[in-house]
Amino acid sequence: MQSNTAAFLMLTFWLAMAPALSAQTGEVNSCVSCHLEEGEELAVPVEGMRNDVHAQNGLSCADCHGGDPKAGLDGDMDAAMDPDKGYIGVPSRKDIPTFCARCHSNTAYMRKFNPRVASNQLERYKTSIHGKRLINGDEKVATCVDCHGVHGIRASNDALSLIYPTNVPSTCGRCHADAEYMADYDIPINQLTSYTKSVHGVALLDRGDLGAPACNDCHGNHGAAPPGAPSIAFICGQCHLNNSELFFKSPHRVAYEENDFPECETCHDYHDIQHPSDEMLGVGENSICIECHEEDSKGYATAIAMRNQIEFLKSKMSTADSLVALAERAGMEVSDALYQLNDADDALVKARTQIHSLDLDNIVNVTNEGVTLADAALLAGTNALSEVQFRRKGLAVSLVFLLILAVGLYLKIKEIDIKHPLR
Amino acid sequence: MAEVTQEPQRAQAGVNEAGESKLKLWLKDRYDFSALGYLIKKKEVPQHRHSIWYYLGGITLFFFIIQVVTGIMLLLYYRPTAEAAFESVQFIMTEVKFGWLIRSLHSWSANLMIGAAFVHMFSVFFMKAYRRPRELTWVSGVLLLFLSLGFGFSGYLLPWNELAYFATKVGTEIVAVVPFVGDFFLKFLRGGEDVTGATLTRLFGFHVAVLPMICTILLMAHLLFVQKQGMSVPPQFERNDTKLKAMPFFPNFLLRDLLGWIVALAVLIAAAAIFPWELGVKADPFAPAPSGIKPEWFFVFMFQTLKYIPAKVLFIDGELLGILAFGVGGGLLVAVPFLDKNARLGKSSKLFTIAGIVVLIYMIAMTLVAYLLPQTF
């Protein structure tokens, strides 16, 4: 009953809105009036167009579907949907990409709306796994409308758009996380679950950090494809530039190519990439290095040496940090030491980045910079604490002096009180 | 025989018949201080169970002297611009020998001075020492207290740290609610629309030139009145007609004063050495206001009151009402000797005593509420 009432109210609303919708294009639109009159399923496209970027840019039904919206107002639907007047109607799934591309691949036309908009989506789509399979007759793959929606397509920078960064994982997951839908394909369906728990997923979905990558940032969007092993470092390198560059110069690159290891993914995994920790380095329990490097090998020794460098810097920083904090709590002005510790922390980050080069000399150079800074902060902290001791002693001496003075004065007052008594 | 030999001895020591040294005579020729000497010799301090409060004015004066000395020393290194103020204070605290101590003494002594001034004022108020002929001593004293608050407000911003910056922003904003002249005073205090380097330089000017000049004049007048009129005897002792014992001002009372100053100095240096005054982080006008912004403790009761007043009281803006109330309160405080007719006639004036107690309790309660209950300013 409630849903009937709601449907009635919606219909009334849209009937009232119909002239306004038509007015957007400044034309009489029989598509809108008839579809609303028919209601239910046929009214859905009209309702959806309310927030559609196309409608907001002045396009109407006929701009995509053809036909004559001026005709048919007298109830003659055939006149409005006359194929001779260019009426296309609903495109089949395999025709959707070319249907949209009539405008979106037309650079001159698209420039009217946005001079920076891309017009190569169809071209790229055809290179994607989705596009290739569609051409080969697989109509289950994603077409434009599966990712962008239909009759209600929002601009990509609209937070409610299906392709807004924070919505991309769930949009892709509508198919890729659906076991039943993906049953025909020999690919895993846990990407969304893994991604959601990953460092990237947490940053994007939990913290709303739009700088964190969604599916399309690694796989591409219209040209979506799984990256092949040799190109992973380029993909990660879009953001992790230094790590990527150092990796390319490292001995790992050649070794990985020879063994067909998937570059970054070999150590960091892919959809469920976790925040890297120093435990990944070295030969400890959670070390990644020992998965390949056997004991007594050069790589094993380098792993130990690299980890030692990092730990050495960390221990220096930790000692300096606690000492400086102690001095700060004692009320000492230690901002210079805090800046030095900050810079030492930067050196630690740089050293962790240098790990990707596997060049121990480079790593030692960077950690040494940090150690020098941590030592300077440690010295400043030690000096500050000695100064605290000096101040305490100085205070004690001053107070003893004042006490003697006060006692002496008190005795003098007593003597004077006798000499000059109260009157 | 002995008398004969005295003359040449005196002449040798530069002393005349009356026992006055040549230097004294030389001075006497130019200005006769004997009246002052006579005053000091004759001056007495009445002794009763509330005599202890007589020392508070001296202690306030002692902290003021510390302020002048340490303030001049800070001036040697302090630079009053938004770009350099914070760094110069940092330099004073880290590089200048005993700079940390001087700055810490200045900050601690400022607060202790205002604390002592409040206690001094309330003790004078409750002992009715403002009654005839000491009305002007009271007026100059209250004005000196207001000036101290001005010193506190203008000095707070000078290190140009985050807390002081935002507290000054809030503090000066309040002035703007005063009708007609509020906007002018806001711009006058800030040296423009916002709290900027211009505000810092301006408040520095008030802190080290304008306020000290007025303060010196008022302080001279205040001290002159006190010396001339001596200490007031509380009315209850005066009415009893019992002859109170009196202590000679010099040297008995003055030495006791000195003892008080030594104790005050010990407290001051202990506070400054054990709890050095923090510098905080440099003010960043573009950063959002941090939590925990609050004015200095002596303004807190007023800020807390403004928070509790509703946005509108009848048709009047709540904040404006609060400001006007404090303005009127300040005016009434200055005018107390002229309003308290009973005290003037030597009669009991319980109404004023009760009003004083209520105000004191209100100030303490509001301050405690602000510090003890979690809240933001």
- When scoring A335, A407, A410 by the number of chain B Cβ atoms within 10 A, the one with the most, hence best to mutate, is A335
Q: What is the mean pLDDT of residues B140-146?
A: 98
Residue A25 above 80 pLDDT? no
Same domain, A409 and A353: yes
Selecting from B245, B252, B278 the residue whose C-beta is nearest the C-beta of A420 gives B252
Residues of B in contact with A399 (CB under 8 A): 266, 269-270
Tell me the C-alpha distance between B169 and B191, whole Å.
Answer: 12
Residue with tokens 């005349």: B16
Residue A206 above 60 pLDDT? yes
Q: B345 at the A interface (CB within 8 A)?
A: no
Residue A119 lies in a domain: yes
Same domain, A127 and A54: no
Query: Which range among A372-376, B184-188, B293-297, B309-313 has the greatest average pLDDT?
Result: A372-376
Q: What pLDDT is stored for residue A22 in this prediction?
A: 47
Tell me the C-alpha distance between A346 and A354, whole Å.
Answer: 12
- The CA-atom distances, in angstroms, between A315 and each of A348, B7, B28, B244, B337 are 11, 85, 76, 73, 69
Q: Lowest mean pLDDT of A229-238, B67-76, B179-188, B301-310, name the range.
A: A229-238
Beta carbons of A409 and B94 less than 8 Å apart: no
Beta carbons of A416 and B94 less than 8 Å apart: no
Give me the phi and psi of A159, to 5 degrees please.
-60, -20
Higher pLDDT, A24 or B68: B68
> What residue of B is the nearest CA neighbor of A406?
B259
Q: For residue B272, what pLDDT band results from cuts at 50, 70 and 90?
A: very high
Question: How many CB pairs lie under 8 A apart between chains A and B?
Answer: 64
Q: What pLDDT is stored for residue A42 in this prediction?
A: 83
In one letter, which amino acid is A27? E
Beta carbons of B252 and A410 less than 8 Å apart: no
Tell me which of A203, A223, A243 is where a domain ends. Answer: A223
Residue A265 lies in a domain: no
Higher pLDDT, B357 or A422: B357
Q: What pLDDT is stored for residue A33 in this prediction?
A: 81
Residue A240 lies in a domain: no
Q: What pLDDT is stored for residue A391 in this prediction?
A: 93
Q: What pLDDT is stored for residue B318 in this prediction?
A: 87
Same domain, A210 and A317: no
Same domain, A61 and A177: no
Tens of pLDDT, residue by residue over B295-320, are 899 999 999 999 899 888 888 888 89
Which of A100, A139, A92, A90 minimizes the C-alpha distance to A122? A100
Residue A192 above 70 pLDDT? yes
Q: B51 at the A interface (CB within 8 A)?
A: no
Q: For residue A14, what pLDDT band results from cuts at 50, 70 and 90?
A: very low
Selecting from A336, A405, A423 the residue whose C-beta is nearest the C-beta of B44 gives A423
Tell me which of A90, A107, A141 is where a domain ends. Answer: A90
Task: With H, G, I as helix, E, B as strand and everything else as coil, classify residue B248.
Answer: strand
Tens of pLDDT, residue by residue over A310-344, are 999 999 999 999 999 999 988 898 999 999 999 99
Helix orientation angle between B99-126 and B297-308, rounded to the nearest 10 degrees = 60
Selecting from B256, B262, B270 the residue whose C-beta is nearest the C-beta of A395 gives B270
Q: What is the mean pLDDT of residues A19-45?
A: 69
Radius of gyration of chain B (CA): 25
Tens of pLDDT, residue by residue over B339-360, are 999 888 878 789 999 999 999 9
Q: What pLDDT is stored for residue B42 in this prediction?
A: 83
Beta carbons of A416 and B275 less than 8 Å apart: no
Residue B11 above 80 pLDDT? no
Residue with tokens 């005599």: B51
> Nearest CA to CA, how far is A331 from chain B (Å)?
6
Q: What pLDDT is stored for residue A233 in this prediction?
A: 87
Q: Could you give the number of structural domains in chain A?
A: 3
Torsion of CA A312, A316, A319, A322, to 10 degrees: -120
Q: What is the mean pLDDT of residues B53-60?
A: 95
Selecting from A391, A410, A416 the residue whose C-beta is nearest the C-beta of B252 gives A416
Tens of pLDDT, residue by residue over B220-269, are 999 999 988 888 888 877 777 667 888 888 889 999 999 999 999 999 99
Residue B154 above 60 pLDDT? yes
Residue A242 above 90 pLDDT? yes
Specify burial of residue B328 (Cβ count, 10 A radius: 0-12, 13-18, 19+): exposed
In B242-271, the residues whose Cβ lies within 8 Å of chain A are 245-248, 251-252, 255-256, 258-259, 262-263, 265-266, 269-270
Residue A43 above 50 pLDDT? yes
Residue A228 lies in a domain: no
Same domain, A73 and A142: no
Q: What pLDDT is stored for residue A121 in this prediction?
A: 93
Same domain, A193 and A96: yes
Q: What pLDDT is stored for residue B234 in this prediction?
A: 86
Beta carbons of A422 and B245 less than 8 Å apart: yes
Beta carbons of A422 and B259 less than 8 Å apart: no
- When scoring A329, A333, A386, A418 by the number of chain B Cβ atoms within 10 A, the one with the most, hence best to mutate, is A333
Give kind and range of the element (H or E) at residue B223.
helix B211-229
Residue A175 lies in a domain: yes
Q: Which two tokens stand for residue A320?
A: 């300096």
Task: With H, G, I as helix, E, B as strand and everything else as coil, classify residue A398.
Answer: helix
Give kind and range of the element (H or E) at residue A407.
helix A360-419
**DSSP per residue, B260-283:** HHHHHHHHHHHHHHHSPPP---B-
Radius of gyration of chain A (CA): 36
Beta carbons of B90 and A335 less than 8 Å apart: yes
Residue A59 above 70 pLDDT? yes
Q: What pLDDT is stored for residue B338 in this prediction?
A: 94
Indicate which CATH number applies to the domain containing A406. 1.20.140
**Right CATH number for B41-230+240-287 from 1.20.810.10, 3.50.50.60, 3.30.830.10, 1.10.1040.10?**
1.20.810.10
Residue A353 lies in a domain: yes
Q: For residue B168, what pLDDT band results from cuts at 50, 70 and 90?
A: very high
Q: For residue A122, what pLDDT band results from cuts at 50, 70 and 90?
A: very high
Residues on A contacting B at a C-beta cutoff of 8 Å: 331-333, 335-336, 391-392, 394-395, 398-399, 402-403, 405-406, 409-410, 412-413, 416-417, 420, 422-423
Same domain, A211 and A189: yes
Q: For residue A7, what pLDDT band results from cuts at 50, 70 and 90?
A: very low
Q: For residue A2, what pLDDT band results from cuts at 50, 70 and 90?
A: very low
Q: What pLDDT is stored for residue A50 in this prediction?
A: 84
Beta carbons of B273 and A403 less than 8 Å apart: no
Residue A120 above 80 pLDDT? yes
Q: What pLDDT is stored for residue B116 in this prediction?
A: 97
Residue A75 above 80 pLDDT? no
Q: Please, how many CA atoms are within 13 Å of residue B62, restricted to the half-sphere of its CB? A: 23
Alpha-helix runs per DSSP H in A285-359 = 298-329, 335-354
Largest CA distance in chain A: 130
Beta carbons of A333 and B90 less than 8 Å apart: yes
Q: Which percentage of chain A shows pLDDT scores above 90?
A: 66
Q: Which percentage of chain B shows pLDDT scores above 90?
A: 63
Q: What pLDDT is stored for residue B293 in this prediction?
A: 80
Higher pLDDT, A211 or B35: A211
Q: For residue B7, what pLDDT band results from cuts at 50, 70 and 90?
A: low
Same domain, A4 and A72: yes
Give the single-character DSSP code of A205.
I
Higher pLDDT, B313 or A124: A124
Selecting from B47, B270, B279 the residue whose C-beta is nearest the C-beta of A422 gives B47
Same domain, A203 and A112: yes
Residue A15 above 80 pLDDT? no
Beta carbons of B259 and A413 less than 8 Å apart: yes
Q: What pLDDT is stored for residue B1 in this prediction?
A: 38
Residue A336 contacts by C-beta under 8 Å, 6 or more apart in sequence?
A380, B94
Beta carbons of B258 and A423 less than 8 Å apart: no
Tens of pLDDT, residue by residue over A249-306, are 999 999 998 988 888 999 999 899 999 999 999 999 999 999 999 999 999 999 999 9
Q: What pLDDT is stored for residue B273 in this prediction?
A: 92
Give the domain ranges of chain B.
41-230+240-287
The CA-to-CA distance between both ends of chain A, in Å, stands at 104
Q: How far is CA B291 from the centre of its chain?
A: 30
Same domain, A31 and A113: no
> What residue of B is the nearest CA neighbor of A410?
B259
Same domain, A71 and A22: yes
> Nearest CA to CA, how far is A373 from chain B (Å)?
19
Tell me which of A170, A196, A223 is where a domain ends. Answer: A223
Q: What is the mean pLDDT of residues A30-35?
A: 82
Q: Which two tokens stand for residue B293?
A: 């912004």
Residue A76 above 50 pLDDT? yes
Residue A3 lies in a domain: yes
Return the ∠ at Cα A344 (arms to A339 and A348), rounded to 5°: 145
Residue A390 lies in a domain: yes
The domain in which residue A30 lies consists of: 1-90
Task: With H, G, I as helix, E, B as strand and everything else as coil, classify residue A318.
Answer: helix
Q: In this predicted complex, what is the ipTM?
A: 0.82
Q: For residue B157, what pLDDT band results from cuts at 50, 70 and 90?
A: very high
Q: Lowest mean pLDDT of A26-40, A41-55, A350-364, name the range.
A: A26-40
Selecting from A333, A413, A420 the residue whose C-beta is nearest the C-beta of B256 gives A413
Q: What is the mean pLDDT of residues A72-98?
A: 84
Selecting from A333, A391, A413 the residue whose C-beta is nearest the C-beta of B93 gives A333
